[in-house]
Structure 1
Amino acid sequence: MGPGTRMTFVKTSGYQSKRSIFLCTELEIHIEKRNTNFRKCITVKKRVAITLWRLATNAEYRTISHLFAVGRSTCCKIANDTCKVITDHLMPKYICLPTGQRLIENIRDFRRINGFPQVGGAIDGTHIPIVAPRDNPADYYNRKGWYSMVCQAVVDANYCFTNVYVGWPGRVHDARIFSNSDIYRQGENGELFPQHTVNINGTEIPVFLLGDAAYPLKSWLMRPFSDFGNLTYEQKTFNYKHSSTRMVVEGSFGRLKGRWRCLLKRLDVATVRVPYVVCSCCTLHNFCEVHGDGINEQWLNGVVGGQDNVFLANLQNNQNNYAENIRGAVASYLV
């Protein structure tokens, strides 16, 4: 989905897209309204179409109102309500950390990129532009000079989101956001991935995430070696393959914003509703990827991924020998 297609329920050869119909079926029980004696309700298909058009274009409700012959306030309510339904009911189904056979396949897919073993996901973050809030606007004014809300995400090897954490103001330090996220808590408690270790060079290697140099080194999160100009060949190889493997998260953000262009412009919704919009876009992104709805490379023109928008500060690493041994064993394996 993207500019020109966007699942707007335009009929092709006399029938609607199977994916469009399937999405309506998924949402129908939660958004369907009943006719009254005085007026006909707006159909599920039109409700979903209005929401998708809003997310894909960030068009003003005045424009959407003309397109769908529905009042502006009604369009606004439909989009807000549908985003909440998508977040509450579809997000748990389409966005979750891999387990079982899906985890094994994900590790295999990451390894195919550049040989990196035991990767369960890649983590990064991005700022979502928003309109200056009425309450405490200074909290949302980020270092780049605009108002935003931070979205931290983990992705798999196929550009799908497996964890999304959004809601913190753009001014809040990203290290604080990370340390308060479920991903950090699960990682520290050993609950992030099932026990699926492999022995590499005599070291038991667990499943881990890949994060850039701003993240702490943990047994469950591998960051690159700090480059002070004296890295060994093994360490340089590790860093190169780490970076090329982790690029999938930036690609995921790019594909997300290419499809749902409301995340590229200022999101003109109440601050409290921003997380619902972002989570809905991430869920629908996964829906597209899972059901084979491809991405047009032209949609990515002018779209940026994660790190250009986000500045992550180093956390106190609290590195232990186990994490160092894991990184060292993987570095030797990759040579």
Structure 2
Amino acid sequence: MEERAVLANIATIITKDLLIDEPPRHSTFTSGNFSLSLQLLEGSDDDEAEIFALMQRKRAVSNVGKGKEELKRKQVEQTTEELKIKKTSKMEWKYTELSLLHRYVDSQFESYLHMRKLTFLKIQQELEEILRRHVLPGAPTPQTTLSLALWKLSTDEHFEEISRKFQLPWSLCQQVVRSFWHIISDNYESFIKWPNSLEAQQCTLQGFQGVPQLSCFQELFGIIALKRVDIFMESEHAEVAVVLQLICNAENKIIDCYVELEQDYTFEESPIGQTLALNPRTMPAGSYLIGSTSFPLKSYLIRPIETECFRKDTVFNGLLKPAFELADNVVDTLARRFHTLYALEARDLNEVRLIVESICAMHNLCIDFQDNYLETDVGGQQKFSWGGVLSGPRGSEKDVKGLRRRVELLDALVNTEGE
């Protein structure tokens, strides 16, 4: 009897633990079951078996939390998998192909797309293989994809307006254009090329020697510029300020682009800033970029002298101005050709980057194909008021190597100018 009493007490303790541990709304171990268990214990000849069963029950209850976490993990994995399937699902394009080349006469086409028809045709031929290779199943032809994508980039129209104009479902327009942005971004280095080879680097250096106002900077490798832009971010349900960081060469082509939230932006944290800090050989030995006072002074990044104490300082800063004008012209060209920058909207920061990379890629192709529409368009010569400057602190001038490099450059350039 004493043994049976001990076993009964153990069973009672285990059962109470079960009642405490188990969540009430999911509990199936009711008071009725508790009484039934005691009855079973009292009438059972196998008390050890009953206790073992109760212990197993307690172990199962203790695993409820783990089970919930596992269920959540599986649900997340399932949702992710569903998103992947949805992303790669067919577009089911059931509409006539869109050809802007045939839809508009030359003057209309150029006023909308801000490029020549021949340029559009060359871009279409350049991208055709890539679009066919990477486009989603069931998507329209490269001609339609490019037409919708460039219309979106070149105008400030929202998808709803584009949908009405071409009588297509706006969700389908979104899908086609966003697939284009992804394809261009996936082939980033085909369009936005940092000069890596020795030949390409020498051509970049020589390019600036062909610009009379900049030929004094014999080791100039690129000009870096910033632009602050307000974007409506769907994920934030509000306008968000982002920073566009662009590096251009003497041909006005963009060789590096980067986008970051203004509140998080620093040059040192940008990909090219980190790369140059870790591997100076990213540029030829002794070469440098020129940037405004928003950038930090480095041995590979020359900025103006902020406090002009001597005549040499003023002269040196004056020599830098043509570089800033060249960079401003490139940034202005982006906005004049791709009006979506005036009313940029995106789902999140990643999509902003996809859009900017696509714009820079199309800009470089226009340069490659020598499109001169913006140069000859009288109305296009006006300066657009868009974007702004960074409101944060100026770049640091504390880098010892940067100070030494600028002093060397200052002495060489100003002395040369005085001779």
Q: Is this a same-fold pair by TM over 0.5?
A: yes
Asked whether 1:59 is paired with 2:157, we answer yes
Equivalent of residue 333 in structure 1, options 400, 412, 415 = 412
Asked whether 1:251 is paired with 2:329, we answer yes
Asked whether 1:314 is paired with 2:407, we answer no
- The equivalent of 1:279 in structure 2 is 357
Distance 1:225 1:290, change over 3 A: same
Equivalent of residue 79 in structure 1, options 177, 185, 188 = 177
Alpha-carbon distance in structure 1 between the residues aligned to 2:338 and 2:243: 17
Asked whether 1:95 is paired with 2:187, we answer no
- The equivalent of 2:261 in structure 1 is 169
Distance 1:283 1:277, change over 3 A: same
Letter in 1 for 2:184: I
Alpha-carbon distance in structure 2 between the residues aligned to 1:130 and 1:16: 27
Secondary structure of the 1:4 match is helix
Conserved 8 A contact 1:121-1:210: yes
Conserved 8 A contact 1:217-1:319: yes
Q: Deviations over 1:77-117 (max 9, x none)?
A: 1111111111112x211213223222222222223333222
Structure 1: state its 5+ residue gaps.
35-40, 138-145, 197-205
Letter in 2 for 1:191: P
Please tell me the root mean square deviation across aligned C-alpha atoms, in Å.
2.7
Alpha-carbon distance in structure 1 between the residues aligned to 2:225 and 2:399: 20
Equivalent of residue 116 in structure 1, options 217, 227, 238 = 217
Asked whether 1:261 is paired with 2:339, we answer yes
Equivalent of residue 226 in structure 1, options 298, 306, 328 = 306
Q: Deviations over 1:208-235 (max 9, x none)?
A: 111112322211111111234x223x32
- The equivalent of 1:142 in structure 2 is none
Q: Among all aligned residue pairs of Structure 1 and Structure 2, give the percentage whose two residues are the same amino acid.
A: 20
Alpha-carbon distance in structure 2 between the residues aligned to 1:42 and 1:195: 44
Corresponding residue pairs, total: 298
Secondary structure of the 1:130 match is strand
Secondary structure of the 2:151 match is helix
Alpha-carbon distance in structure 1 between the residues aligned to 2:408 and 2:218: 11
Alpha-carbon distance in structure 2 between the residues aligned to 1:244 and 1:305: 21
- The equivalent of 1:153 in structure 2 is 246
Equivalent of residue 185 in structure 1, options 258, 274, 282 = 274
Conserved 8 A contact 1:2-1:259: no
Alpha-carbon distance in structure 1 between the residues aligned to 2:110 and 2:319: 31
Letter in 2 for 1:270: R
Q: C-alpha displacement at 1:118, in angstroms?
A: 0.7
Secondary structure of the 2:323 match is helix
Alpha-carbon distance in structure 1 between the residues aligned to 2:168 and 2:281: 45
Conserved 8 A contact 1:7-1:20: no
Letter in 2 for 1:74: L
Letter in 1 for 2:331: F
Letter in 2 for 1:21: Q
Structure 2: state its 5+ residue gaps.
1-108
- The equivalent of 2:74 in structure 1 is none
Conserved 8 A contact 1:155-1:252: yes
Conserved 8 A contact 2:226-2:243: yes
Secondary structure of the 1:157 match is coil
Q: TM-score, normalised by structure 2?
A: 0.64
Bigger relative contact order, structure 1 or 2 (CA pairs below 8 A, ≥6 apart): 1
Conserved 8 A contact 1:238-1:331: yes
Alpha-carbon distance in structure 2 between the residues aligned to 1:74 and 1:103: 42
Equivalent of residue 4 in structure 1, options 105, 112, 125 = 112
Q: C-alpha displacement at 1:192, in angstroms?
A: 5.3
Distance 1:327 1:16, change over 3 A: closer
Q: C-alpha displacement at 1:305, in angstroms?
A: 7.6
Asked whether 1:207 is paired with 2:287, we answer yes
Conserved 8 A contact 1:252-1:305: no
Q: Deviations over 1:160-212 (max 9, x none)?
A: 1111111x223x164xx31211221122223353444xxxxxxxxx1111111
Q: Deviations over 1:271-297 (max 9, x none)?
A: 242211111111111111122122414
Secondary structure of the 2:111 match is coil
Letter in 2 for 1:220: Y
Letter in 1 for 2:289: L
Letter in 1 for 2:336: G
Conserved 8 A contact 1:217-1:223: yes
Alpha-carbon distance in structure 1 between the residues aligned to 2:397 and 2:410: 19
Conserved 8 A contact 1:2-1:260: no
Letter in 1 for 2:409: V
Distance 1:209 1:55, change over 3 A: same
Conserved 8 A contact 1:97-1:162: yes
Letter in 2 for 1:169: L
Q: TM-score, normalised by structure 1?
A: 0.79
